[in-house]
Structure 1
């Protein structure tokens, strides 16, 4: 075998190994991450046994939650009403998750506001909470996402938000309008935003199940896999 041919074979082997390593690292990066272990140095065995983050609220009668308060698994959704990917999830994937897991008592979904697109997103989050003050949080939530564009950010101006309130049948429009200016509701939105930011979340939607994050509007199969694993651990 001549020297040139030997060099060619060696180069091909090096390139092949590099390609395999690239695929492995890319696959690891694509999956969700543990929120309680990201960016931490190696720890002792005692530290590894420390309790995980407790993000679940499980508040009875919470208007921003779907499903039984004692469901074995809780999925927390961090979303922005102007986010087109959040809209895609709400229209296509969430109904299937509700039918398969929430309606059967296996899963509870808890909403968190993560308004990453500025003041309009904050105002929209406050408005949906204002509808929630009259028992129509999820109806308003669904109406906003049903009308959201496939691409680009939704125009959620004050007149648009008032139209959604009328569409879902908010009974006391005067109260709704006043509540959209409520400092208390705005503070709750900002508190959710601070929680998400403290976890390193900066894009929407992001879902958290047992402190395992699912970034983006993933296919239903991804949610099924993570939820089923959580249910198996809960038994």
Structure 2
């Protein structure tokens, strides 16, 4: 799938909406999310998505599930992680209104799949909290001048060294063994299957209880979450 979508990355600016978080006199501005504008398939109902064994932020009892589809090589995802996710946490996750999940859409190149599978190994062996520490750090370490064609940025050594910044040696060894044995393949493939099922066309992309978010602001997202909680 990475090879099939690679050609689309050069035109990514026409397929995404940026999320930008800024400050104004009265508080924090809403973000602007760049989603793709292709024709949707029929929305998938929340109960048709298997959220088990997926990393998430928030309380399990939260009534609404938000999914971000992302690629660790995607610069828009890096910006989304740094600027938009903290705002979503504050407004929707910390308030108990929603859970926020991360699903992989590894489409840019080999690095995308490798880093996603390594992150899945982190989640499998070290749990949710360490996963998010690694996840955030991996985006922070994404180089500003990366080129989509370059496929050897996120080597196993790079990923291992990054994990060492948030986990001990024994924990790192467990993750590396899990990754080298390709035990994260099924978890990664589960995400990629949802990419096809939900007709995800680019990253970052948001879905609320299985329905694609088409809005342009945090208020639009809050409204969608509130409607989802009411069963709309």
Q: TM-score scaled by structure 2?
A: 0.70
CA distance in 2, matches of 1:169, 1:30: 36
Counterpart of 2:82 (choices 63, 82, 91) is 91
Partner deviation per Cα, 1:94-117 (whole Å, 9 max, x = no partner): 011112211121101122111011
Shift of 1:54: 3.2
Unpaired segments ≥5 residues, structure 2: 1-34
Contact 1:83 1:153 in 2 (8 A): no
1:90-141 Cα offsets, whole Å, 9 max, x none, are: 1001011112211121101122111011321111011112221112111110
Cα distance in 2, alignment partners of residues 119 and 200 from structure 1:
21
- Root mean square deviation, CA, Å: 2.9
* Counterparts of 2:62 and 2:38, CA distance in 1: 22
C-alpha displacement at 1:55, in angstroms? 4.4
Secondary structure of 1:184's match? coil
Q: CA deviation at 1:167?
A: 0.8
Aligned residues: 190
Between Structure 1 and Structure 2, the one with more helix by share is: 1
| Bigger radius of gyration among the two | 1
Moved more, 66-75 or 148-157: 148-157
Counterpart selection for 1:224 from 216, 222, 231: 222
- Contact 1:58 1:69 (8 Å CA) reproduced: no
Unaligned runs of 5+ in 1: 1-28, 38-50
Contact 1:205 1:215 (8 Å CA) reproduced:
no
**2:136 is matched with which residue?**
142
Output one character per residue of 1:203-229: Cα deviation in whole Å (capped at 9) or x when no partner.
11111113321369x653443343233
TM-score (normalizing by structure 1) = 0.69
Name the residue aligned to 1:44: none
